[in-house]
Amino acid sequence: MSRVGLIVRNNAEQTAVNMCIEAHKWFNKKFGLKTKLTFSREVNWGKDVYYAGFYQNVGKEVRINIRNLYGNTIKDVLIVLGHEIRHAIQYQKKWLEKFGKEGTGRNPYVQGKWKGKQYWDKYFSAPWEIDAREYQTKYADMVIKALGIEKDCKIQLPYGSVTTKLKDETIAEFMKKNKSKNIQLLRAYDKRGKSNPNGFWWIDLKQTKYKEWNRETINDAYKKYAKFVETQFVPYKTKKEKFGGISLSELRF
């Protein structure tokens, strides 16, 4: 077992991890599986990270994404685990074959072969997902009773926080303060030449030799005033918001 990208932050998370490890062992023995269990706190794609877990048959890996389970109970975590165990059983029985996903978002298109028939449509309508959702709570209840962990399963994972960039608010405030100037906002770049998502550059027409702003003069400003505009970087203001308590019905797993 490995904790992929997960450093446990609090007692509730530690309890959840411990319960998952024990439940996973029980499921493997109960159903004759040889899956491995990993944990993560994945935010790789920002708002496009909609999943609380997944099963990857190549490598027999069950992954639990703690980040999208903030604010949920340990029983909810075990429901996600039960869902992924059901996928492992589907592969073991050769009901599910050649699974693939196309697109991002909460309900992408998926394709696969289910009980000999090809399927290509939305994720939530996939027959293997319908089957896994039917068994996920049954499996969670089974392992909770078998391990005698009813009390621990009521523990709630703490909420987390997410930092939001206030792009529009920052730009509006900046333009209001400089409404008497002929300002052109420019995309900022870092030292490696990649777009900097944390703020913007700006330049006033009076700081240049141009008579007006148009496509040509804006493009030229990047070349002739590059060093100068780097000194006029405005970072986006940010705020921290409470994150968690996402209903399992809104997540992929």
Question: Would the pLDDT of 105 be above 80?
Answer: no
Please tell me whether residues 154 and 174 are part of one structural domain: no
pTM of the model: 0.80
Q: What is the mean pLDDT of residues 13-26?
A: 97
249 lies in some domain = no
Helix-strand-coil percent breakdown of the chain, rounded to 5? 40, 30, 30
Please tell me whether residues 152 and 214 are part of one structural domain: no
Q: What is the mean pLDDT of residues 65-86?
A: 96
Per-residue model confidence (pLDDT) at position 84: 98
179 lies in some domain = yes
| Number of domains within the chain | 2
Please tell me whether residues 152 and 219 are part of one structural domain: no
Question: Would the pLDDT of 252 be above 90?
Answer: no
User: Of 91, 125, 158, at which residue does a domain stop?
Assistant: 158
1 lies in some domain = no
Per-residue model confidence (pLDDT) at position 4: 58
Per-residue model confidence (pLDDT) at position 198: 94
Q: Are 69 and 157 in contact (CB under 8 A)?
A: yes
Q: Are 86 and 135 in contact (CB under 8 A)?
A: yes
Please tell me whether residues 118 and 200 are part of one structural domain: no
Q: What is the pLDDT of residues 154-181, one digit of tens each?
A: 999 999 888 889 999 999 999 999 999 9
Q: What is the mean pLDDT of residues 97-105?
A: 73
Q: For all residues of the chain together, what is the average pLDDT?
A: 91
Please tell me whether residues 105 and 205 are part of one structural domain: no
Please tell me whether residues 172 and 136 are part of one structural domain: no
Q: What is the mean pLDDT of residues 22-35?
A: 98
251 lies in some domain = no
User: Of 104, 131, 158, at which residue does a domain stop?
Assistant: 158
5 lies in some domain = no
Q: What is the pLDDT of residues 200-251, one digit of tens each?
A: 999 999 999 999 999 999 999 999 999 999 999 999 999 998 989 989 998 8
Per-residue model confidence (pLDDT) at position 77: 98
Please tell me whether residues 145 and 85 are part of one structural domain: yes
4 lies in some domain = no
192 lies in some domain = yes
Please tell me whether residues 146 and 223 are part of one structural domain: no
Compute φ and ψ for 216, nearest 5 degrees: -65, -45
User: Of 158, 190, 211, at which residue does a domain stop?
Assistant: 158
Please tell me whether residues 75 and 121 are part of one structural domain: yes
Domain membership of residue 137 as a residue range:
11-158
Per-residue model confidence (pLDDT) at position 103: 63
Q: By C-alpha distance, which of 178, 177, 176, 196 is closest to 186? A: 196
Please tell me whether residues 22 and 43 are part of one structural domain: yes
Which amino acid is located at 112 in the chain? Answer: G
Please tell me whether residues 210 and 141 are part of one structural domain: no
Please tell me whether residues 131 and 46 are part of one structural domain: yes
* pLDDT grade for 1, boundaries at 50, 70 and 90: very low
3 lies in some domain = no
